[in-house]
Amino acid sequence: MQQADHNAFKAVMHGVYALYGKDISPGVMDIWWSAMRPFDLAAFRDAMNRHATDPDRGQFLPKPADVIRLMVGSTQDTALIAWAKVDRAVRSVGTYASVVFDDPIIHAVISDMGGWVSMGQRGEDEWPFVAREFENRYRGYRTRGTAGAYPRTLTGIAESGNALTGFKTQPPVLIGDERAAQSVLAAGSTQPKLTWRSAGEQLPSLAYLARELEKGDA
C-alpha cells in the first residue's frame, strides 16, 4: 500500500473493529499499518472480508498474522511453493546458467546454502534433505518478514568461469513471474554474501574455465 491508501485503510480498520464491537487505538492502528503496507489495498480488504465470513475463525477479532495468512498462505505453504520453483529450475534450467527468481527470499536462502552451483551438485539421495533445509530456512526469513541483503543474481557455472577469463556473460534466466524477477534483480546486491566453498564445490567453474582457455588456444 502507498501513503495515498492510508485513509481507505483506516476506514476498513474502523469498520472491522466496529463489527466486533471494539474501538481501535492510534497505536494499534500504526501496528496494523506497518504490517499491511507490503500488501495491496484490494488484497487486504478482501482478506478482511474472508476472515469475517470464516465459520471457524470469523467470530474472533483478527490479528495481522491472520490477515497475512489469508493473503499469502502460511510460511509452510509459501516455503513449499518456493522449493517447487527451485527444484523445477535446477532440473530444467540447470546450474550452468545464472538465474533470477521472482522471490528475493529464494536468493537469500540459496546463498546461505552455498550458492546456485552448489545446488546442482547435490545428488538425488541428498535432495529430500536439501528440500527440508531450504524450507526451514525459507520459513525463518518469512517469519522475520525480510530477505535482508541478497545477491541480485544466483551465479551459475558459466558466469563464474567467464568472470575469471574476462569473457562476456549471458543475461540471467528469469524464473517465475518476469516482472517480479526484474524487481528482484533491481533491488538485489552486487556483492554476494560471503559463504565458505570447498575446493570440490569450485571444480565445475574451474573445469569450465579450462575449456574456455582451450578454445582460446585453438
Over range 190-200, report the average pLDDT: 53
Lowest mean pLDDT, pick from 29-33, 61-65, 168-172, 212-216: 212-216
Query: Each residue of 28-40: b (16+ CB within 10 Å) or e?
Result: ebeebbebbeeee
**Coil, helix or strand at residue 174:** strand
Strands (E), 39-128: 99-101
pTM for this predicted structure: 0.63
How high is the pLDDT of residue 142?
A: 84
Kind and range of the H or E run holding 42: helix 41-52
| Domain locations along the chain | 3-72, 75-217
How high is the pLDDT of residue 163?
A: 55
Over range 157-166, report the average pLDDT: 65
What is the rounded CA–CA span in Å between residue 213 and residue 174? Answer: 28
